Structure 1
Amino acid sequence: MASSSTVKADKATPAWKIPEVISENVDVSLDVSFNVVKLLDEGATIPFIARYRKEQTGNMEVDKLREISSLVEELKTVESKIASVSAVINSQGNMSQSLNASLRNARTLHEVELLYAPFKPGHKGSLAERARKLGLEPPAMKILDGRLVALKQFINTEEKGLSNEAAVEIGIRHIIADFISKDKDIMNEVRRLCTNSNVTIETSQSKTTSKVKADKENEKKVKDFKKPKDQSYKFEQYFDYKIPVKYIQSHQVLAINRGEDKKILVVKVIIPDFVKNKLTLFSHRKWIHHNTCDQARILIQKSVTDAYDRLIQPQMSRLIRSDLTKKAEKESILVFASNLNSLLLTPPVRGKTVLGVDPGFSHGCKCAVISVTGQILDTFIVHLNYKSQNTFEDQQKIIDAVNKFRCEVIAIGNGVACRETEKAIGNLIQKKRFNVRAIAYCIVDECGASIYSVSDEAKKEMPQLDPSLRGAVSIARRLQDPLSEFVKVEAKHLGVGMYQHDISESRLKTSLDSVVEECVSFVGVDINTGSECLLRRIAGLNASKAKQIVECREKNGAFLNRQQLLSVKGLGQKGFEQCAGFIRVLHDFNDPDIRQKCEETAEPECDSEVSAKSGRGRKRKAGTTRKAKKIKLDENQAPNPLDMTAIHPESYHIAMSFLKELGMSVLDIGQSRFIDRVTQEVAVKGVEKLAKSFEIGEPTMKLITDALSKPISYDIRDSFDKPLFKEGVTAIESLKVHQKLTGRVTNVTNFGAFVDIGVGQNGLIHVSQMKEGLKGHSGLQLGDHVDVEVINIDIKRQRIGLRLIRLTSS
């Protein structure tokens, strides 16, 4: 009993620590792993860790931090599973020291499930459970031990399953087979054998779908019948398909899964006989020994065969499919995340009045003129693409709007009637019908615009505007500031990946939401102009806190500095720490009034006082003093120039000390003379020397110097590819093989990249057609401009094959 009590006491405590497992699996040092896990447990967000805790993470990138965060959650789930399984086994009185040790050392849910399998209550309808209810488990265990059992003593002619000796034997075999199929050693061995053998996936068309298709092909009621309603044509390549598991791609797995769900495909996992033969020998060596009686030998051999055919092989088939699906989902989510990141970081087109056009046929093209500040100046509807007697008048409406508001760019949505609208606008530009000196047009991704136009956010923002016109407003604003507009739409509706309906919705949402948070945070948001949608995406904030910020702004006027965030209801010190560095409070310090206000409320403070209050600052040898004074801005009344930078408030004292040594004023941040002086100091001394001088980490010093050496208008998105402004219009029918074109990547998948080449249908660069030296498909990102060559055209199926020549920009 003492031993049992000891087992129960530590049943739920894993023998491993999460940081140790992270260190082993993600290839980071134990110290870094411990720091990251600690930060995550304390509630730190990934953007905050990535930017402001580089010393603790070893300059770890966001993608790796996200991977660690996901692994931490998985390991916590394993911890919870170990605790619940231990509790169940203990309640049964079946816990042993060896089992407890195995449970405590298990690191995956699969390992825990294998250990729990022999003790899990069986399904009431299973053959083994039925046999157990008949009292056949004791003789079954004796036979498994190699002992002789008189089967006749268990015969009961009035009981089904015990009517004769043969029935008793079958029941005993079912129990032994069930025991073998749940044995941890057996399952580990079969997994090893399957991994090292040529397991294949075979797919074929289901008989039901084939019959439906045949019936529809014979049906003559619909003359121009092209695509059967059963959509089976989409899976034709898998109607007679076979591929080794080790070579199957993630997109193929997801496509096969979808075809199976729709009852179009029949999928089989073919495990070679080699696995069965090897596993049978392994099982015999484990349970059949020299002293095993003949009766037990025969029954065990039959039970092993039954266990494999009826239980183990189907279980392994399910496990292989499950592993493939998990891997495919993970890879697909990574593609989604990468594409979304590129889409959100599309550079804005600033300082231009834009005419947004939401194309349409019968209902016309919805148009909206948007000012440089995003205000709606005019809205109207024209019919450019529909047979109408008013075509000339409608064209004149476009011309008048462009000329009246001096629009510089026309943004055309890429949905239905896009190419027809593009052609009409292109003709007007070519004929110089506009009086403005320069006018261009651009195709804008309108995915999710229709969803946004009927959302509560759109109703609140544009209450008097018809929903159809709201889409045109969104299209124009997506060109002016893509990030601010895209965050209004749930990420899964932005069309940045494939097979999203075949992926775990919760996992996809978690990953995409994380990417949105990172992009918004790293770009930064002006707290006095940022929308509620944008603010809620900042690291450390949420919907309720963003709402409180907006309400506070509306009630009390514009925020003067970051410190005033602490007065927002519900935003405590922890939330402030997480979000402060990503929020900007922009002021024009060239304005005499603002400059005077800042100077009037500034008060000198010595370094020692700052150190005492903040717990930070430069250390000084005992007995020494320093005459230099540091400026402390009255946080309740004055703007703070540092609030316009990416420097976190916790590092303001370092930034101020640095500027004091340079003899520069914090009020001149962003000016060219200021930037030149900071840049010169960094070039002469180097970041490493400066970091040692201020006794801080090199990453923090680099962040401070980088922030101070950039203009206030600096935007990380400026380094990405600009939107593609096109001049010509082409139809798919006019394409020719070997023709060379320029296009823009609109989607990236595991099997290739889709490119908009301006013909109304995206072309596909398959991975096999990507030039060496560009890292295959992983070298292309959504938004890249590329030179391509047409290699094949299928007008009937609207498919265009392309070969990548080169990236025209990076």
Structure 2
Amino acid sequence: MPPKKSKPPLGDEKAGPSSSKADPSNEVITMAWNLTDMVVQKICEEEPWAVANVLKLLDDGCSIPFISRYRKEMTNGMQAEKIRDVAAAGEELKTVEVKVAAVFKQVTKSGKMTGGLKGALRNARTIEEVEHLYAPYKTGSKTTLAERARKLGLEPAAKVALEEPWKFNLNNFVKPSQKGLASYAEVEKGCQHIIADIISKDKDCLDKIRNLIKLNGATITSTKVKPKKGTEEHPDTAKFANYSAYRISLNSIRPHQVLAINRGENLKILSVKVVLPDNTVNNFKRWCELRWVKSSAPGAVQGLVKTSIEDAYNRLIFPLVVREIRSELTKNAERASIDVFGQNLQRLLLTPPIRGKTVMGVDPGFKHGCKLAVTSPIGNILYTGFMFLQPNNAYAQRNMIAEVLHQHRCETIAIGNGTACRETETYFADLIKNGAFAPLDVMYCIVDESGASIWSVSPDAAKEMPDLDPNLRSAVSIARRLQDPLVELVKIEPKHIGVGMYQHDVSEKCLKDALDGVVEDCVSFVGVDLNVCSATILRRISGLDVGKAKKIIDHRDKNGQFVNREQLLQVKGIGPKTYEQCVGFVRIFTQSSTLASSSHNADNDTKDEASHETLTKTGRKRKAPSSKSKTTKKAKTEVKPNPLDMTCIHPESYHIAEQVLNKTGSEVTEIGHSSIRSKMQRLLQTTSVQELAASLIGSTDTQCGVPTMQLILDGLQQPMDHDIRAEYEKPLFKKSLVSIDDLRRGVTLTGRVKNVVHFGAFVDIGVGESGLLHTSRIHQRLLRRGQPLGLGDKLEVKIINIERLKGQKGQKPKTKIGLDLVAVL
């Protein structure tokens, strides 16, 4: 069988001219706009050449972390967040292209394609616009008024009215015996519908109304919907009291307001309208009259065209514009909400790990008690048990906890922030205050336990800790979240981590894609130790997925530890492209391999329950290679390690790194040591980074770029235990607590940002209820380098308002706390 001919790519204007003559349905439509230019318009602030390069790299299968770190010369140093915006805008426009191609093919096949429709499709920029154009031609859809008139043969008359009005004569079309043509009025009405359709699909008309709206704005209104007679109000009606008689300009509405209004409308609690200013409507209609009404036309024809303009605006153009406005508002609001969610998630994932500490994790609870788990500094389980807060056995509980802490030399307690957190915190704070754990210097930290209970009953948790009660697994997770947040949190679906708002009002797919991208960025930029990491975290590395991560782990278990990065190419399923994308984000530390082996031996002695992953040089336990692999390991001893594999430098730049080492007179064994830092500084005193980059040649016989050179210099000088998370604020440890009853207006407290939303930030001030720091109270002069607040930021805040609310039946009363920003610590 001869091979099938591949279809020409969408947008190739030279493709298939002969086939289009033979069969019109094979014609390929090209868009009137350029993809790069359109993305630049949407994204702004970026150079067109850089945007074009990003789009090409993405098309070539490059991941965002890879582009952000290793292709800075091609992207003008674009950050991962901006690259993700470019990718999203590009995908959205490509979806429009695909939709246009499908609609064009369908309509052409049906024989209904016209020049006007083709032009409108080529200029379409949104899915909504394409749907509007395609609606009359959908199979099974009601024929539009214009289409019915065309079937009656009135299109020539309509075109004459617009192009040669002095020849216009409808009497020739009147047929008394045919419905729709029985009278002059019916014929005139049919012409009106066709003219209105032509006007509504005219690109210049649509551009004009859009530009007028941009210039003069619009207003969004929402009103409360009265329940039908005999029906009760929706139970959530009170939540939308602020929007029951609401009016706001298009330029002033905030993302959270858009999402709230949309939710109220979906629940049929609110009725939402878009109102255009009178001058916008009048100017648009006048413009249309100047464009479509010929001054030399007879009065009757002028009247017909003016009526058609009115009909086109009211029935076709205004509804389309409203859909576009609402759609754009929703998209922007969803994007803003997802961005905030992503920023919060990033700050949470990049919380610095607490190294070298044995931790007791406490999952608070009343009825079933508090679940306890003690984990070693490398995450192995040393103890699990339960504790009950009832006063009648407080003495026995205190002795039991003290015994466990002393036995494992544990001075750090992580308390989950769920049910009974406040009571549990009070209990431990009292014990610390009374010296119950002396001579241990015990401190505690409140840890966000969002998603821990969901993960504890998941198949992954059962596989990792098969012999452990699901309730105790959550205590283990809480302890490990303090020891290494990123390692533990990557196990949980990002949407369950609880660091955003309105996640149920945005597209689930968009939210998942964005948050998965944030996780990929964080894990990739922190890096993983290839010889001790698990498949759970490895699958989050740039270029890898669940299947490829599993194959890497299986290869490691079967053949022993990796000696150098190049051995990744021996793994089945890891080809050159995957290798290129992931290799810069994995590390190979000989020291961690030794620690992993020691951890395994210690585990056999202490009968630890489960292993735990690591990112860089923590030496967490992993499954030991089977005895069958010993011969294989012996045979591989000839493979030489490369010290550059311990750095963030990509193998494609090793040639340049070696040239830099030669220039400084350094050995590869000095990488990461103080000696090489001294030599580098001496070199840079006489040679700038730009000059150094220009003097060196890469493996492809091209000059090294400045961003790549800076990355190489940093990679050679950074200590082997360098962790980008060290730049962020560490968890807040406490020995005592402040009671919510002690709070008064004017009191100044220290707290941590727990969540960031569009209207401010929620701050944990250690009283069981987070206070709201409204945007109006976030003074820009107090922010560091003008940077916005992020999760984990340590603040000094002043209480400006306290409102104690009555709780609903069966629930504890809540307190609303208003805060003012005093300082960013």
| Offset from partner CA, 1:278-307 (integer Å, 9 cap, x none) | 333233333332343344333333333333
One-letter code of the match for 2:645?
D
The equivalent position to 1:533 in structure 2, one of 531, 536, 545, is 536
Does structure 2 retain, via aligned residues, the 8 Å contact 1:202–1:270? yes
SS where residue 746 of structure 1 aligns?
strand
For residue 743 of structure 2, what is the aligned residue in structure 1? 735
For residue 338 of structure 1, what is the aligned residue in structure 2? 343
Q: How far off is 1:552 after superposition?
A: 1.3
The equivalent position to 1:500 in structure 2, one of 500, 503, 506, is 503
Change (3 A) 1:342 1:327: same
SS where residue 438 of structure 2 aligns?
coil
| Offset from partner CA, 1:502-545 (integer Å, 9 cap, x none) | 11122222211111111101100011111211100001111101
| Offset from partner CA, 1:198-231 (integer Å, 9 cap, x none) | 52111122212998667xxxxxxxxxxxxxx812
Alpha-carbon distance in 1 for matches of 2:405, 2:228: 54
Does structure 2 retain, via aligned residues, the 8 Å contact 1:560–1:585? yes
The equivalent position to 1:199 in structure 2, one of 176, 195, 218, is 218
User: Structure 2 stretches of 5 or more lacking a match?
Assistant: 1-16, 598-635, 698-703, 806-813
Alpha-carbon distance in 2 for matches of 1:417, 1:367: 14
> Does 1:671 pair with 2:673?
yes
For residue 283 of structure 1, what is the aligned residue in structure 2? 288
After superposition, where does 1:297-308 map in structure 2 within 5 Å? 297-308=302-313
Does structure 1 retain, via aligned residues, the 8 Å contact 2:755–2:762? yes
> Does 1:148 pair with 2:151?
no
The equivalent position to 1:443 in structure 2, one of 443, 446, 466, is 446
The equivalent position to 1:780 in structure 2, one of 776, 789, 792, is 789
> Does 1:473 pair with 2:481?
no
For residue 317 of structure 1, what is the aligned residue in structure 2? 322
SS where residue 804 of structure 1 aligns?
strand
Change (3 A) 1:589 1:529: closer
| Offset from partner CA, 1:358-379 (integer Å, 9 cap, x none) | 1112121111111101001111
Alpha-carbon distance in 1 for matches of 2:282, 2:320: 17
Change (3 A) 1:432 1:117: same
Change (3 A) 1:51 1:322: same
After superposition, where does 1:638-657 map in structure 2 within 5 Å? 638-657=640-659
| Offset from partner CA, 1:56-93 (integer Å, 9 cap, x none) | 22322222222222233233334334433443454466
Does structure 1 retain, via aligned residues, the 8 Å contact 2:120–2:202? no
| Offset from partner CA, 1:678-731 (integer Å, 9 cap, x none) | 444444544334323433322222222211212111100001100111343234
Alpha-carbon distance in 2 for matches of 1:311, 1:657: 67
Decide which moves more: 486-495 or 662-671.
662-671
For residue 105 of structure 2, what is the aligned residue in structure 1? 87
Alpha-carbon distance in 1 for matches of 2:592, 2:144: 78
Identical-pair percentage:
49
Does structure 2 retain, via aligned residues, the 8 Å contact 1:564–1:635? no
SS where residue 725 of structure 1 aligns?
coil
> Does 1:485 pair with 2:488?
yes
SS where residue 372 of structure 1 aligns?
coil
Decide which moves more: 467-476 or 798-807.
798-807
For residue 399 of structure 1, what is the aligned residue in structure 2? 402
> Does 1:12 pair with 2:38?
no
After superposition, where does 1:47-446 map in structure 2 within 5 Å? 47-88=65-106, 90-91=108-109, 123-124=141-142, 126-132=144-150, 137=155, 139-143=157-161, 146=165, 147-150=168-171, 153-156=174-177, 159=179, 169-208=188-227, 230-384=235-389, 387=390, 389-446=392-449
SS where residue 649 of structure 2 aligns?
coil
> Does 1:41 pair with 2:59?
yes
Decide which moves more: 374-383 or 434-443.
434-443
Does structure 2 retain, via aligned residues, the 8 Å contact 1:114–1:184? no
Q: How far off is 1:492 after superposition?
A: 1.4
Decide which moves more: 675-684 or 555-564.
675-684
Does structure 2 retain, via aligned residues, the 8 Å contact 1:114–1:183? no
Change (3 A) 1:131 1:565: same
Q: How far off is 1:486 after superposition?
A: 0.8
For residue 612 of structure 1, what is the aligned residue in structure 2? none
| Offset from partner CA, 1:239-261 (integer Å, 9 cap, x none) | 12111111101110011111111
User: Structure 1 stretches of 5 or more lacking a match?
Assistant: 215-228, 595-633
Does structure 1 retain, via aligned residues, the 8 Å contact 2:481–2:488? yes
One-letter code of the match for 2:648?
A
Does structure 2 retain, via aligned residues, the 8 Å contact 1:360–1:366? yes
For residue 752 of structure 1, what is the aligned residue in structure 2? 760
Alpha-carbon distance in 1 for matches of 2:278, 2:130: 28
Alpha-carbon distance in 1 for matches of 2:270, 2:32: 45
Decide which moves more: 354-363 or 172-181.
172-181
Alpha-carbon distance in 2 for matches of 1:234, 1:477: 38
One-letter code of the match for 1:793?
I
For residue 221 of structure 1, what is the aligned residue in structure 2? none
Alpha-carbon distance in 1 for matches of 2:509, 2:551: 27
For residue 819 of structure 2, what is the aligned residue in structure 1? 802
For residue 771 of structure 1, what is the aligned residue in structure 2? 779
Does structure 1 retain, via aligned residues, the 8 Å contact 2:531–2:593? no
Does structure 2 retain, via aligned residues, the 8 Å contact 1:736–1:790? yes
Change (3 A) 1:131 1:233: same
Q: How far off is 1:635 after superposition?
A: 9.1
One-letter code of the match for 2:796?
D
Alpha-carbon distance in 1 for matches of 2:204, 2:340: 37
SS where residue 497 of structure 1 aligns?
coil
Alpha-carbon distance in 2 for matches of 1:549, 1:559: 10
Q: How far off is 1:641 after superposition?
A: 1.8
Q: How far off is 1:465 after superposition?
A: 0.8
The equivalent position to 2:725 in structure 1, one of 717, 733, 752, is 717
Q: How far off is 1:134 after superposition?
A: 5.5
For residue 614 of structure 1, what is the aligned residue in structure 2? none
One-letter code of the match for 1:359?
P
Does structure 2 retain, via aligned residues, the 8 Å contact 1:676–1:709? no
For residue 583 of structure 2, what is the aligned residue in structure 1? 580
For residue 690 of structure 2, what is the aligned residue in structure 1? 688
| Offset from partner CA, 1:542-583 (integer Å, 9 cap, x none) | 110100111112122222221111111100111111111110
Change (3 A) 1:458 1:194: same
For residue 525 of structure 2, what is the aligned residue in structure 1? 522
Alpha-carbon distance in 2 for matches of 1:668, 1:3: 65
Alpha-carbon distance in 1 for matches of 2:292, 2:19: 28
Alpha-carbon distance in 2 for matches of 1:133, 1:775: 67
> Does 1:458 pair with 2:461?
yes
One-letter code of the match for 2:212?
L
Change (3 A) 1:6 1:100: farther
Alpha-carbon distance in 2 for matches of 1:135, 1:435: 97
SS where residue 795 of structure 2 aligns?
strand
Q: How many residues align?
A: 750
| Offset from partner CA, 1:763-798 (integer Å, 9 cap, x none) | 111111111325699611111111111111221063
One-letter code of the match for 1:748?
V
Change (3 A) 1:290 1:642: closer
Q: How far off is 1:343 after superposition?
A: 1.0
Change (3 A) 1:718 1:149: same
SS where residue 424 of structure 2 aligns?
helix
Alpha-carbon distance in 2 for matches of 1:130, 1:15: 29
For residue 561 of structure 2, what is the aligned residue in structure 1? 558
Alpha-carbon distance in 1 for matches of 2:63, 2:501: 28
| Offset from partner CA, 1:626-677 (integer Å, 9 cap, x none) | xxxxxxxx99623322211112222223333433444433234333334444
TM-score normalised by the chain length of structure 2: 0.83
TM-score normalised by the chain length of structure 1: 0.85
One-letter code of the match for 1:256?
I
